[in-house]
Structure 1
Amino acid sequence: MKVLLASQAIAGHFNPMTGIAMRLRDAGHDVAFYTGSVYARKLAELGVRHFPFDRAIEHTADNLNELYPQRAKLKGPLAIRFDGERIFASNVTNFFDDVRDIHAAFPFDVVVMDSSMFIQRLVSALIRKPVVSFVPIGNMESDPWVPPMFFGFLPARTPVHKLLQAGARLVSRLVVTKPARDSYVRQLAHFGLHTPGGPITDEPYRWSDAVIQTGTASLDYPRSRTNPKVKYVGALLPYRQAAGETGTGRPGRYARTVVVTQGTVDNKDPNKLIIPTLEALKDRDMLVVVATGGAGTADLRARYPGPNVVVADFVDFEAVFPSTDVFVTNGGFGGVLLSLAHGVPVVSAGINEGKNDVNARVEYAGVGINLRTETPAAAAVAQAVDTILADPGWRARAEGVRRQFEAVDGCAAAVDVIEEAVRAAAGPNVR
């Protein structure tokens, strides 16, 4: 069958889907990928046909603040409000028009799309092809038992917490997510479609034939209802990891290894997490491996020349994590999953781009310490790292998640979901 994969031009959305693409191709399917031109070279290396964005605005980790200078000044709910409308919802019509044009050149049998593109209903209703959504973050579907997104809440356990979260849910609906929702509804109306009320983040779960959900149910919160469309596939990892300087040429010299990163989006100011971590650990008997994501690498190397500090643009986490004791991160979901896939506990410190929700799940699962800030003090980082190293329970719980991941071949499970969705669509309820 012909399979079109589609994703935002953002690493954490695109990279995990490359594993699915290659597994589909190995299974004999004709595969193409719709994403930004920034990934043209990568797809050429993989031998996957590329349809670049045409009408769609290409948002990447490097150009967001250039496209929207005002974005850099926004924090918390205001940043989520802006991103929801301008980066995600505003592209819905553009994405759909591009995909409809692609269908003329590549008559796909199914679309496997990044959930944050929000064109599931349009493809299903107007192109009339099965849709499988890929969710690269934690389960976004709303539920009475699950805290509202973007606030970093844990499940409410007391009447006061329930009241607080009810208020936050109302603020989210009326203020934070309303511009994105309104934009989405207007665009659907342009195509003659009407959608009932509810958060825009529920749309992939309503209008997809199936949902490939990264992670495991153990990293989600308890839910009052189970959506049969949702299939957890574990730590779905990129087809190939980026290689870089890792410090693995220094085995045995240090008692412990700590890896730290701010990811590839919120990495321009190392004072948020990288520098506090280096200040906390630079004089310890431990190897500190820093992945900068390509921002400020030379300056950090000059500032921290110690033999136990390795600073690189990119780190081959697959090579480093087997000997890592603690992963310090701002909460990118892909990095957290990769760390747990190696049984490495986490110290997390991040707020924006929904990272506070990722970090709350780390805390809830007991696989790491959530510092609940994006600018922790060096002393707070040191204390969290020491706490994890002193108590083997943190490693044991992370190892438990690793075993759950190892029990599932994520790419194979994803392919099964896609093939089953196509078979079901070809049955009595053919669209």
Structure 2
Amino acid sequence: MKILFASQAIDGHFNPMTGVAVRLRERGHDVGWYTGPVLADKVRALDIRHFPFRRAVEHRADNLNELYPERARLKGPRAVGFDGEKIFASNISNFFEDVRELHGDFPFDVAVVDSSMFIQRLVTRLMRKPIVTFVAIPNMESDPLVPPLFFGFKPARNLAGKAVQAAAGLLSDKVILRPAGQSYRRQHAAYGQDVPRQGRLTDEPYRCAEAIIQTGPASLDFPRRNVNPKIHYVGALLPYRPPAAAGPAADEWPRSYPATLVVTQGTVDNVDQDKLIVPALEAVKGMDALVIVATGGRGTAALQARYPQPNIMVRDFVDFATVFEFADVFISNGGFGGVQLSLSKGVPLVVSGINEGKNDVNARVEYAGVGISLKTESPNPRDVATAVADVLGDPGWKRRAGEMRDQFKQADPAAAAADVVESTGRLPEDTGP
């Protein structure tokens, strides 16, 4: 079977798909990958054929503010609305035309498509190809029991909370996501495709797919009234690691401290380290703990000079799979991949982030009882210190994170996801609205 993977050129969207793609290649399938030129070497290293963007704009973690200088000044809902239109909706026609063109060289039987590309309806309707939607973020399908996206809400407990969330949902639909929704409808209308009025824009990748691969366990999602039978929670889909690949061995890190803390601000919003890394280091620099910091390759030397304490080790990149084997707390802005890796090792979290949907991830962390959310983009060092002390001092956090680790261990995520792709049959004549 010929299988096309298609993803944004953003590490957080690309990396979780790599293990699935390699597993399918190892099973004898012919796998190709459509993504940005920046990821060409990574795709080829997987022994997979690369099809680069041609018409599509390559949105990367390191060029978003360069492409859109005005983006850096936006906060909260305005930032979400801007990203929805510029980074996601604006590229839909370009993505589709690229995919339709590459089909001549690679006549794929099924496509595994990053949910944020929003080309599912066009590929299924106009190319008559079955789609497996790949969701590298928390389940974003709307449901009466699930709070609206982008606000960092947990499920409402009373009528007042439900009223607030209903109003926020209307704000999201009618204001925040309106430009993206209008762009989506306009581009589909150009192809003669009607889009149902009911539901939300973020429901489209779920509606127009034969199956959905949802990263993470169901226990890291909110309770739902409606269970979508197409959705398969497969666990922590982590980046593919060649058998010989490894970072520093666990015994290369100092092990004389009573606790180990890991700190990161992710790979996208990590330019301004005063948001999280610096407050975190100010909070914990005096603790009797090993503090491992991953900068994502930004400002490493300056941080090393600023924090010369022997217990603080600042690196461009850290092999999280190694350090989480002995870590006690993960201080993070809430990237979903990092959260899953942390929990897959039973490490509880202190999370602080709002942008790029981080607040929705962090709300789920807190709701599941596996971490403390500081509910801000720029926490006070005192609040970070208090949260870390709470997690270290209360064994319940470690116990609940351990319970989730045991859930992660129950299945092979890459194998489960590969099974979903293989079981996707021919596109039926009626694929829904």
TM-score normalised by length of structure 1: 0.97
- Residue aligning to 1:373: 376
CA displacement at 1:252 relative to structure 2:
2.6
Aligned pairs for 1:78-117 (under 5 A) are 78-117=78-117
- Residue aligning to 2:127: 127
Residue identity opposite 1:218 in structure 2: S
- Residue aligning to 2:280: 277
Deviations 1:74-110 (A, max 9, x none): 0000000000000000000000000001111100000
- Residue aligning to 2:218: 217
Deviations 1:47-70 (A, max 9, x none): 110000000000000000000000
The answer for unaligned runs of 5 or more in structure 1 is none
Aligned length: 429
- Residue aligning to 1:191: 191
CA displacement at 1:350 relative to structure 2:
0.2
- Correspondent of 1:318 among 317, 321, 328: 321
Aligned pairs for 1:31-430 (under 5 A) are 31-197=31-197, 198-240=199-241, 248-422=251-425, 425=426
Counterparts in 2 of 1:147 and 1:35: CA distance versus 1, 3 Å: same
Aligned Cα root-mean-square deviation (Å): 1.6
Counterparts in 2 of 1:262 and 1:158: CA distance versus 1, 3 Å: same
Aligned pairs for 1:24-35 (under 5 A) are 24-35=24-35
- In the alignment, the residues of structure 1 paired with residue 88 and residue 261 of structure 2 have an alpha-carbon distance, to the nearest angstrom, of 34
1:246, 1:312 within 8 Å by CA — same for their partners in 2? no
SS at match of 1:373: coil
SS at match of 1:212: strand
Q: Which runs of 4+ in 1 moved over 3 A?
A: 241-248, 426-431
CA displacement at 1:244 relative to structure 2:
5.6
Counterparts in 2 of 1:201 and 1:429: CA distance versus 1, 3 Å: closer
2:135, 2:214 within 8 Å by CA — same for their partners in 1? yes
SS at match of 1:350: coil
2:210, 2:427 within 8 Å by CA — same for their partners in 1? no
Counterparts in 2 of 1:17 and 1:253: CA distance versus 1, 3 Å: same
CA displacement at 1:248 relative to structure 2:
4.9
- In the alignment, the residues of structure 2 paired with residue 366 and residue 174 of structure 1 have an alpha-carbon distance, to the nearest angstrom, of 33
Residue identity opposite 2:104 in structure 1: A
CA displacement at 1:427 relative to structure 2:
7.6
1:235, 1:410 within 8 Å by CA — same for their partners in 2? yes
SS at match of 2:50: strand
SS at match of 1:100: helix
Larger CA deviation: 197-206 vs 85-94? 197-206
Deviations 1:381-416 (A, max 9, x none): 111011011111101111111111110111111111
- Residue aligning to 2:19: 19
TM-score normalised by length of structure 2: 0.97
Counterparts in 2 of 1:82 and 1:156: CA distance versus 1, 3 Å: same
Residue identity opposite 1:165 in structure 2: Q
- In the alignment, the residues of structure 2 paired with residue 373 and residue 384 of structure 1 have an alpha-carbon distance, to the nearest angstrom, of 13
The answer for unaligned runs of 5 or more in structure 2 is none
- In the alignment, the residues of structure 2 paired with residue 94 and residue 68 of structure 1 have an alpha-carbon distance, to the nearest angstrom, of 18
Counterparts in 2 of 1:428 and 1:73: CA distance versus 1, 3 Å: closer
CA displacement at 1:185 relative to structure 2:
0.2
- In the alignment, the residues of structure 2 paired with residue 193 and residue 6 of structure 1 have an alpha-carbon distance, to the nearest angstrom, of 21
Percent identity between matched residues is 63
SS at match of 1:353: helix
SS at match of 2:347: coil
Counterparts in 2 of 1:206 and 1:199: CA distance versus 1, 3 Å: same
Larger CA deviation: 130-139 vs 37-46? 37-46
SS at match of 1:85: helix
2:262, 2:330 within 8 Å by CA — same for their partners in 1? yes
Counterparts in 2 of 1:248 and 1:190: CA distance versus 1, 3 Å: farther
CA displacement at 1:251 relative to structure 2:
3.5
Residue identity opposite 2:389 in structure 1: D
Deviations 1:270-319 (A, max 9, x none): 11111111111112111100000111111000000111111111110011
